[in-house]
Amino acid sequence: MESNHSDTKDNLLFAKLAWRFEPGALQLELERLQTDNWLPHVNRANYGGSWEVLPLRCLAEHAQAHPILQGFAIETGDAWCNLPALTQAPAMLGILERLQCPVGAVRLMRLQAAAHIKPHRDRGLSLEYGEARLHLPITTDPKVEFVVGGRRVPMLAGELWYINADAEHSVNNKSPQDRVNLVIDCRVNDWLREHIQDGRGQMAISTQAGV
């Protein structure tokens, strides 16, 4: 049985947050954004096939910069701004407005059918370091294998998941369609920590009940 949360000895690997968003509205917005300026992911050695990014929110200092800086700048900061693509996507924007925590970079990440992302770690990007990466699948398939710390994450379209990106993780799209996730980086505060921990606790209850 697949679980909606997973722990290592010390750290939470992933957890499903309580909300579920209507995937149909998000898919309609995605369709309008498909012809925008998607960028090949810059870490080309880390994947096979096509893996592309559409920046939606970036550091304010890069608001007028080249999209590569908007999507892949490694520096951090406190001043962030929404990009035009996000202002044209009210359903996606509404998800961000539900988050009562500081929101940093936001982007759409498209993994083409038959493409894969190799096992890797994003150092320091986890709850334990005060940072959280949230994934919301917009288009996905049961044949998309998202693995964190050796455990498969059973993501469905419209669900919001915390992923411990500091742990080794990989994605293999064995399906015939592209997988597109809305990916949101957040600063952890008490509100977000509580919701992530609630996701862990709810699944523990479900597992004990045999659900």
What domains appear along the chain, each with residue ranges and CATH number?
5-208 (2.60.120.330)
Lowest-pLDDT choice from 8-17, 33-42, 76-85:
8-17
> pLDDT (tens digit, 9 = 90+) per residue, 29-70?
999 999 888 999 999 999 999 999 999 999 988 888 777 787
The predicted pLDDT at position 3 comes to: 52
19 burial (CB, 10 Å; 0-12 / 13-18 / 19+) is middle
Residue type, 123: R
The 3-state DSSP class for residue 29 equals helix
Q: pLDDT at residue 10 above 70?
A: no
Chain position carrying tokens 């992911």: 41
List all residues 6 or more positions away from 27 whose beta carbon is below 8 Å from its beta carbon.
138, 139, 157
Q: pLDDT at residue 200 above 90?
A: no
The rounded distance, in Å, linking the Cα atoms of 144 and 51 is 14
| Burial readout 61-99 (b: 16 or more C-beta within 10 A, e: otherwise) | ebbeeebebbbbbeeeeeebebbebbeebebbbebbeeb
CA angle, corner 30, sides to 76 and 157, nearest 5? 85
Which of 60, 79, 78 is closest to 70 using CA atoms?
60
| Stretch 134-142: mean pLDDT | 98
The predicted pLDDT at position 6 comes to: 57
Confidence of residue 108 (pLDDT cuts 50, 70, 90): very high
The rounded distance, in Å, linking the Cα atoms of 78 and 103 is 9
CA dihedral sign, ordered 125, 208, 156, 160: negative
Which of 64, 65, 75, 69 is closest to 53 using CA atoms?
69
Prediction pTM value: 0.90
DSSP label at 98? H
Q: pLDDT at residue 211 above 50?
A: no
